[in-house]
Amino acid sequence: MIAAEDLVALVRNYNPRTNEALIRAAYDYGRALHEGQFRHSGEPYFTHPVAVAAILTEQQLDDATIVTALLHDTIEDTRASYNDISERFGTEVADLVDGVTKLTNLQLSSSETKQAENFRKLFMAMSKDLRVILVKLADRLHNMRTIKAMRQEKQEQKARETMDIFAPLAGRMGMQWMREELEDLGFRVLNPEGRASIIRRFITLQKEAGDVIHRITGDMRHELEAAGIDAEVFGRAKKPYSIWRKMQEKGMGFSRLSDIYGFRVITRSEMDCYRALGVIHQRWRAVPGRFKDYVSQPKSNGYRSIHTTVSGRDGKRVEVQIRTRQMHDVAETGVAAHWSYRDGVRSENPFAVDPARWISSLTEQFDAEEDHDEFLEAVKLEMYSDKVFCFTPKGDVVKLPRGATPLDYAYAIHTRIGSACVGAKVDGIRVPLWTRLKNGQSVEIITAEGQTPQATWLDIATTGKARTAIRRALREAGRERFVRLGRELARSAFEHVGKKSTDKVLEKAAATLRLQDAQEVLARLGSAEITSREVVHAVYPDLGPADEAEVDAHRAVIGVDPDTGFERAPCCQPLPGERIVGITQRGRGVIVHAIDCESLAAFEDQPDRWLDLHWAEGTHPPAYGVSLEMTIGNDAGVLGRVCTLIGERLANISNLTFVDRKPDFFRIRMDVELRDAEHLHSVISALEAESDVASVNRRRDASLSALPTAAE
């Protein structure tokens, strides 16, 4: 626990004229009243008020606010009364402590009607003295930092309340650093696995790319110095929750996110902000559509900064914020800038806009409003600037993330309505499903019996709920096909390690992988959600995905005499992992066919030419050509995306032929070099998921067989 002298020293650092005696008196009084009280962690309770006061010193707040922090729980949890505090520390402090106490007693996460009334009380208290909410936010921040000592159910309740109310409130009041930390602390409680996953990926990225922040920060400083601009440059990785939210909103995996680093340039003047912008755009390529000038057009909470996103030669995007020192103070502390001190004098910041005006106007506007729900909705529309609130035809409110579409709205109502959606009306006008919804719009969903989710919907939907439901529906629609394919992949994988893919083995794999049953294992294996190696490893850990020696492509087939050559039949193009047989041919050695190749029918009466073959064990190189036939949309960038998808799966395109060209589509034939059947399946699955690929099939043509049918 911070000692009284240390706390006084923290205040004296920014306010040499502080009333040290007042702070010491509050410290001693609070410690005496909380004597014998303990937190859930077992620490003395008074450690909490002291920590809250220390948080407020970081924002350089006045003495009354620091004293209030030390005493904020005394009226609620001890024998102290309003009159006691007023007599000892004055009416100003007593009013602040009383205001914090009333906020603490509000059940902000209660039922809608009661929640609306409590929100009204919250904003009325804030309109009287904003320092009340500053203490309350610091109180919540410290409680979230030490939340592990609480039971899990209570942790989740407090975390949800923090995410829904206190974090957006801190952001709306301009205290962005506090919003980010509150969100991240809540994220740690509500989704620890998701947060840990992002942190692990960050660590991996650092190992692969090195210290990107240090390198880019150095480059920016060099460019600004060369241009004669005096500026500070800071860089950081974005918070895990911020990255997670972006992943959910854009439906992207971590590896596809680009702007996960942020940089700030702090200049001496507003003119230098624009000069710095020019230098950065000259050195790095600006990303179109990602420039915002909040200096000439400030946000309603006083926030001013220039935002731009640039990309370097390696394609990595970074976000850059450019602002002056005064703008930066407002961006970091928000409303606290009104109460902060510098050198013992209340600082005057010309860029700070008093959020009290916003709060006062809100409470005045709804002071006579009897409808609690309308009041609550108006408050949330103000607080959650990153949300969109739409209305059903009956007047009910649906909350969605900004950028949501009518399809997201339909799934937010009910999964059944989303799956049957064929169209939408916004404010009575028929609109496409990809339309971005805006605040206050009325949305009506048009459904039809027999409609099912389409693969293209994944490009339209933005919410996790909608995308999950669409994927599940698509997976179930193709489940039978995936199960059949998965069974063949499992058989091949287990045979590869000398085992059999029995129902009992698959049930064991399901238990280890925490899947419902063997059918689910096969379906996911067939849809490329899991790999055959993962399934084998789940049953036989010692035979799983250990590093295997790479197989020599010239010795890839077992069963052929070492002195005899072999070649893959062009009619079926067999791959490792598929069952194969050989047909001998004089002068050419052995022609290897897939066991289901139609060309083999011509050799049924020549059993002496057949050889029982199988693929060599180990990792095969991507050296086996397979022909794919695709129908793709005739639109800009489609072919490029197709090629990128194939390249991302480490497959090489060796030839490309246009079979047919139409105004709205192309039919193409593409030769791709692959490792095995599983590699092929991974490529096809990725292509099928691309909305502009209408169809993709493996080409097999018995007429391509060059084998003579007569015995030689």
DSSP for 616-675, written as a single string: PSSBPPS-EEEEEEEEEE-STTHHHHHHHHHHHTT-EEEEEEEEEE-SSEEEEEEEEEES
Give the separation between CA 123 and CA 129, rounded to whole angstroms.
10
DSSP letter, residue 558: E
In 10 A of CB 412, how many CB atoms?
A: 19
Pair of tokens at residue 49: 């008020």
The answer to whether 621 and 550 have CB atoms below 8 angstroms apart is yes
* Residues whose CB is less than 8 angstroms from the CB of residue 531 and which lie 6 or more positions away in sequence, other chains included: 525, 678
Looking up tokens 């150095």, which residue turns up?
Answer: 218
In whole angstroms, give the CA distance from residue 169 to residue 44. Answer: 30
Distance CA 101, CA 556 (A): 76
Check if 139 is active-site. Answer: no
Q: Cβ distance 490 to 525 under 8 Å? A: yes
Give, in order, the Cα–Cα distances in Å from 54 to each of 25, 39, 96, 106, 364.
16, 18, 17, 25, 34
Q: Which of 198, 202, 203, 261 is nearest to 234 (CA)?
A: 261
Joined together, the tokens standing for residue 35 give: 């004597």
Give yes or no for a contact between 446 and 421, defined as CB atoms under 8 angstroms apart.
yes
B/e letters for 297-309, b = 16+ CB within 10 Å, e = fewer, are ebbebbbbbbbbb
DSSP state of 435: P
DSSP designation for 551: P
Q: 280, 258 in Cβ contact below 8 A?
A: no
Helix (H, G, I), strand (E, B) or coil at 44: strand
Tell me the three-class secondary structure of 46-99, residue by residue: CHHHHHHHHHHHCCCCCHHHHHHHHHCCHHHHCCCCHHHHHHHHCHHHHHHHHH
Extended strands (E) in 101-240: 231-237
**Catalytic annotation, pick one of 43, 77, 354, 617:** 77
Angle at 609 between CA 607 and CA 613, to 5 degrees: 95
- The Cα–Cα gap between 598 and 660 comes to 26
- DSSP state for residue 581 in the 8-state scheme: E
Read off the DSSP letter of residue 121. H
Closest CA to 135 of 114, 166, 164: 166
Q: Which residues are CB-neighbours of 336 under 8 A, at least 6 positions away?
A: 59, 60, 61, 134, 175
Would residue 84 show up in a list of annotated catalytic residues for this protein? Answer: no
Distance CA 311, CA 324 (A): 23
Given 76, 249, 382, 459, the catalytic residue: 76
Q: Known catalytic residues?
A: 76-77
